[in-house]
Amino acid sequence: MAYDVIVIGSGPGGYVCAVKAAQLGLKVAVVEKRATYGGTCLNIGCIPSKALLHASEMFHQAAHGMDALGVEVGAPKLNLDKMMAHKDATVKSNVEGVSFLFKKNKIDGIQGTGKIVSAGKVSVTNDKGEVQELEAKSIVIATGSDVAGIPGVSVDIDETVIVSSTGGIKLTKVPEKMVVVGGGVIGLELGSVWLRLGAKVTVVEYLDTILGGMDGDVSKQFQRMLAKQGMEFQLGAKVTGVAKSGTGAKVTYEPVKGGEATTIDADVVLIATGRKPFTAGLGLEEAGVVLDNRGRVEIDGHYRTNVPGIYAIGDVVKGPMLAHKAEDEGVALAEILAGQHGHVNYDVIPGVVYTQPEVASVGKTEEELKAAGIAYKVGKFPFTANGRARAMLATDGFVKILADKDTDRVLGGHIIGFGAGEMIHEIAVLMEFGGSSEDLGRTCHAHPTMSEAVKEAALATFFKPIHM
Ligand code: NAI
């Protein structure tokens, strides 16, 4: 049977594209090699890590945060098996949710590994080795990404002692010493989980700052906060070797600026040095689909590859490797395939680091504006001056707004603080509508809320805040 669309991969990019295309009246099939839908995000990424981040934060709060509020609970006891069961149950309900959406929208889910035979033809090999051939007007590559490993270093990731994020969310006991290679999002999120549960965590990062690419003010203050929580950092340090040793492993790093190498021991090493587009076995070369110099499927502004009828979205193409960016591309492409005008605004894609406190940003950083020679104004407001934050003992952090010096149009927003990942969206919506810091500062915000700090930072950008 011929489909309008075959989507290869059921992560946030693929499954959302499939649902939207079906909602718009197209006949859709999704090919997925995993036993469950949802891709990396739902099965081994965003969703399980958030279950562990929340549970480990509750554990940490019970031990360290409640006493000051007059809640005396004694020393909490960790039941790691139960915490992992909560994570597994969270994954199960989410992947089942995708199955439900496929049924509801009459999408054919086909288990197996998809390979593009040519434009319009996909072969699918299932677990039993059986092959079937499917036909469609359009093929969407949504195969996501895989662990990149450490550039230039050969590391045997066994997912027990030397782990990627996949093994990092299923350790069977809390390591005494954990070394995290890479101070990016995965390293700091999963490092936080195991730190809260009792591990001594050392992050070794190549750059001089953590969260490279984030606003400088934010990453500096964030590092101080994590250090206060007990996370140790070796910055400007290049990891040159990771090897198993006895029941643990040894990590060797050297100063990027040159100097003596250091070797440290770890019970578990988390490799969090980025991800790479996943295109292996897809038949792209045979089908003539061109990749760019970083191994990503090359696309134009409408997600078209160089081969007519073959499209690509999500982590396998350029842009930030974020689930919500993939989802929005999925929607836009489905609309295009249905004859509408799908579009993604790449200037307004929020990013959130789900640590405690959270770090969230949207739009340009101060460093980017400087580099682009754009004249800007800055408004900052600390949570120490926010009543709700004081009431919750959540005064760590600040809101920073960047606006165009002449037009006052908001160009970027950066928040570090409790609930930053929720608050960032009011800045995103404002930016989507081309709003100014005055618009934001004049919008009535409920009192007392953490979000008032966003309003105050906006007031600080175009004139003066009230509470400072
Ligand atoms: P990343 O690119 O965010 O960070 C990797 C870090 O490793 C960089 O800071 C880099 O300088 C460092 N590094 C590379 N080679 C090194 C070496 N030899 N020695 C020391 N440091 C080295 O990658 P990460 O954290 O693995 O995440 C992968 C992808 O997944 C990212 O695109 C990220 O955006 C996404 N992700 C997003 C999440 C979120 O939005 N909350 C959560 C988890 C992942």
SS (H, E, C) 372-400: HCCCEEEEEEEHHHCHHHHHCCCCCCEEE
Kindly tell me if the per-residue pLDDT of 290 is higher than 90: yes
CA 122–ligand 1 middle distance (angstroms)? 33
CA 351–ligand 1 middle distance (angstroms)? 13
What are the chain's domains? 2-147+276-337 (3.50.50.60), 162-273 (3.50.50.60), 351-462 (3.30.390.30)
CA 137–ligand 1 middle distance (angstroms)? 37
Residue-wise pLDDT tens digits, 240-257? 999 999 999 999 999 999
Kindly tell me if the per-residue pLDDT of 1 is higher than 80: no
Residue-wise pLDDT tens digits, 224-241? 999 999 999 999 999 999
Residue-wise pLDDT tens digits, 72-94? 999 999 999 999 999 999 999 99
Q: Phi, psi at residue 277, to the nearest 5°?
A: -60, 140
Local confidence band at 139 (pLDDT 50, 70, 90 cut-offs): very high
Q: Is the CB of 314 under 6 A from ligand 1?
A: no
CA 117–ligand 1 middle distance (angstroms)? 34
Q: Whose CA is nearest to atom 4 of ligand 1?
A: 184
Query: Chain-wide mean pLDDT for the chain?
Result: 97
Return the pLDDT at 4. 98
* Active site residues per annotation: 447
DSSP-assigned letter for residue 118: E
Cis status, amide bond into 448, omega within 30 of 0: yes
Q: Is the CB of 189 under 6 A from ligand 1?
A: yes
* Minimum-distance ligand 1 atom for the alpha carbon of 212: 9
The residue-averaged pLDDT of 389-417 equals 98
Residue-wise pLDDT tens digits, 182-206? 999 999 999 999 999 999 999 999 9
Q: Is the CB of 338 under 6 A from ligand 1?
A: no
Return the pLDDT at 248. 98
Q: Which helix (H) or strand (E) holds 59?
A: helix 46-60
Single pTM value for the model: 0.97
